[in-house]
Structure 1
Amino acid sequence: MKCGLTEKSDSKFVDTIEKEAYVWCEKDWKHDSYEHMHNRSQLTFVEDGYQYFHIDRKIYLVPQHHVIWIPSGKAHKITSEATTVNLMVFLFKSVFDEDFYQQVQVFAVPPVLKEMLLYASKWNQSLTENEEQEIFFKAILKSLPNFCRESNRLEIPVPADTRLIPVCNEINSSFKYSLNIDSLAEKAQMSVRSLQRIFKNETGITLQKYLQLTRILKSIELIDTKQYTLSEVAYKVGYQSLSAFTTSYFAVMKAKPGLNRHQGVSS
Structure 2
Amino acid sequence: MVAVSFACGHGAAAGAPGSVALRRTCPVCMLLHETQRTRGELLGRVAPPQRSALAAETRVGAEFDWRCRRGHDRFRASVVDVLTGPGCPKCGRNAASPGSLREAGMPFMKPGLRVGTSMTEQRLRVLLGERLKLHHRANAVRTARMFYGRQEVWPDILVAELRIAIEYDDPGRSGRAHRGLKEGSDQEKDAALREVGWEVIRIRGGGLPPLGPYHVACRSVTAEVADEVVRLMRVIRGDAAVDAIALPLGAT
With structure 1 as the length reference, what TM-score do the two structures score? Answer: 0.24
Q: Quick check: which one's helix share is greater?
A: 1
With structure 2 as the length reference, what TM-score do the two structures score? Answer: 0.25
Considering Cα pairs closer than 8 Å and 6+ residues apart, tell me whether 1 or 2 has the greater RCO: 1
Compare CA radii of gyration and give the structure with the larger one: 2
